[in-house]
Copies of this chain bind each other. A is one copy, B any other.
Amino acid sequence: MGHGITLSIDAMGGDNAPASVIDGIAKRAKSDPDIRFLLHGDTAAIEKLLAKRRILEGRVEIRHADEIIEMDAKPSVAVRRGRGSSLWRALESVRDGEASAMVSAGNTGAMMAMALFCLRRASGVDRPAIAALWPTKGMHEHCIVLDMGADVRADAADLVKYAVMGTEYARIALGTDAPRVAVLNVGTEENKGRPEVKEAAEALRDMASLPDCPFQFEGFIEANAIPMGLADVVVTDGFTGNVALKSAEGTARFVGDHLRGAFEANWSSRLVALLAVASLRRLKRRIDPRRVNGGVFLGLDGLAVKSHGSADATGFDAAVELAATMSRADVINRIAAQLETSPAAISEVSE
């Protein structure tokens, strides 16, 4: 497998923590013998769960933390008063070099606020972003969309940096050498959209025309084209990205509920549903959000991965796997190097 790494885990974050967290890392430990875990949280609760998980024997170290950041805690309050929490301590392990990445299924806002404070922004980055994998048809089965909600705004310079950061993520996660970057907009014509979006597109077009540019630029993309796989990296501000993601989630659930309703309408449709189970399971497997779980925080001086709050063991496992992959590929340093080599085009829109 890959080389040995240590991951820092917030054992108490998430709706089903700590059980789903321990079950998740146990799954990962089974598939990947070269990961060790620093578990932050309630020692007694964690030890009880570990007793049933022989695979984790000798591969975990527990760091007791008394406090838990609630899922609805205000980020500003969490930062001020949450220094004894499992979330903060998990981040500290990355800052102090004890672990190469951290994973939490806790409160997203609190995690971002704490990460800004604890890990600090990467050089040249004003607004870090949360990058997520979005299921698509086509070559790679996913694309990267960022920002998913780290910040409610992004100016043209931020969007350009998102493109640079997303490119490194895509090269690692999708294995594509020159990812196709696009800017999310309400139309694909050049005259459409908000000023910052047009300005970012102009700068990205200039950058893509230079030799050695690590990405191709595809111009604007509309939200309905994201699942078509027309781009590998889609950049947008965190407000729009978050709304787009939640709209997709809500629609998938709406269609799924109706599908169930349609099959439960009468006895003959129920019979069909029984026969259809295998087909539907194939579909579900393909679009299962648990298998692509994990929002990667980019633009910080350290690697943090956010698992969905309601993740079960499979979901948490996916987030940990992502953290391991990104950590072994050294995504943070690769991004730093890219941001350093492309300052001309970026500073063009920075003023």
Which chain B positions have C-beta within 8 A of A225?
A: 250
The answer to whether A186 touches B257 (Cβ under 8 A) is: no
Which chain B positions have C-beta within 8 A of A191?
A: 74
Return A278 CB to nearest CB of chain B, in Å.
7
Within 8 A of B (CB), among A234-251: 236, 238-240, 242-251
Chain A: number of interface residues, binned into ranges: 35 or more
The answer to whether A258 touches B283 (Cβ under 8 A) is: yes
Residue of B at shortest CB range from A270? B279
Within 8 A of B (CB), among A241-295: 242-259, 261-263, 265, 268-269, 271-273, 275-276, 278-280, 282-283, 286-287
**Once bound together, how far apart are the Cα atoms of A273 and B287, in whole Å?**
19
Known: A149-B186, A279-B262. A224 touches B253 (CB 8 A): yes
Is A222 in the interface zone, CB < 8 Å from B?
Answer: yes
The answer to whether B239 touches A251 (Cβ under 8 A) is: no
The answer to whether A255 touches B252 (Cβ under 8 A) is: yes
Which chain B positions have C-beta within 8 A of A227?
A: 250-251, 253-254
Which chain B positions have C-beta within 8 A of A222?
A: 243, 246
14 A-B residue pairings within 8 Å (CB atoms): A109-B187, A186-B242, A224-B249, A224-B253, A226-B250, A227-B250, A227-B253, A243-B244, A252-B255, A259-B283, A265-B279, A265-B282, A271-B275, A272-B276
Which chain B positions have C-beta within 8 A of A152?
A: 186, 193-194
Residue of B at shortest CB range from A135? B254
Is A334 in the interface zone, CB < 8 Å from B?
Answer: no
The answer to whether B265 touches A286 (Cβ under 8 A) is: no
Is A81 in the interface zone, CB < 8 Å from B?
Answer: no
The answer to whether B258 touches A287 (Cβ under 8 A) is: yes
The answer to whether A263 touches B275 (Cβ under 8 A) is: no
Which chain B positions have C-beta within 8 A of A238?
A: 186
The answer to whether A186 touches B239 (Cβ under 8 A) is: yes
Tallying the copies of this chain within the complex gives 2
**Once bound together, how far apart are the Cα atoms of A192 and B242, in whole Å?**
12
**Once bound together, how far apart are the Cα atoms of A149 and B135, in whole Å?**
25
Instruction: List chain A positions with a Cβ less than 8 A from chain B.
Output: 72, 74, 109, 135-137, 149, 152-153, 184, 186-187, 189, 191-194, 222-228, 236, 238-240, 242-259, 261-263, 265, 268-269, 271-273, 275-276, 278-280, 282-283, 286-287
Known: A137-B254, A223-B246, A247-B248. A239 touches B272 (CB 8 A): no
Among candidates B149, B279, B286, residue contacting A263 with C-beta atoms closer than 8 Å: B279
**Once bound together, how far apart are the Cα atoms of A285 and B245, in whole Å?**
25
Known: A224-B253, A228-B250, A251-B247. A194 touches B153 (CB 8 A): yes
The answer to whether A250 touches B272 (Cβ under 8 A) is: no
**Once bound together, how far apart are the Cα atoms of A278 and B271, in whole Å?**
12
The answer to whether A72 touches B189 (Cβ under 8 A) is: yes
Return A309 CB to nearest CB of chain B, in Å.
12
List 14 other contacts, CB 8 Å, given A194-B239, A258-B283.
A74-B191, A109-B192, A152-B186, A152-B193, A223-B249, A224-B247, A243-B244, A244-B244, A247-B251, A254-B287, A258-B286, A261-B283, A272-B279, A273-B276
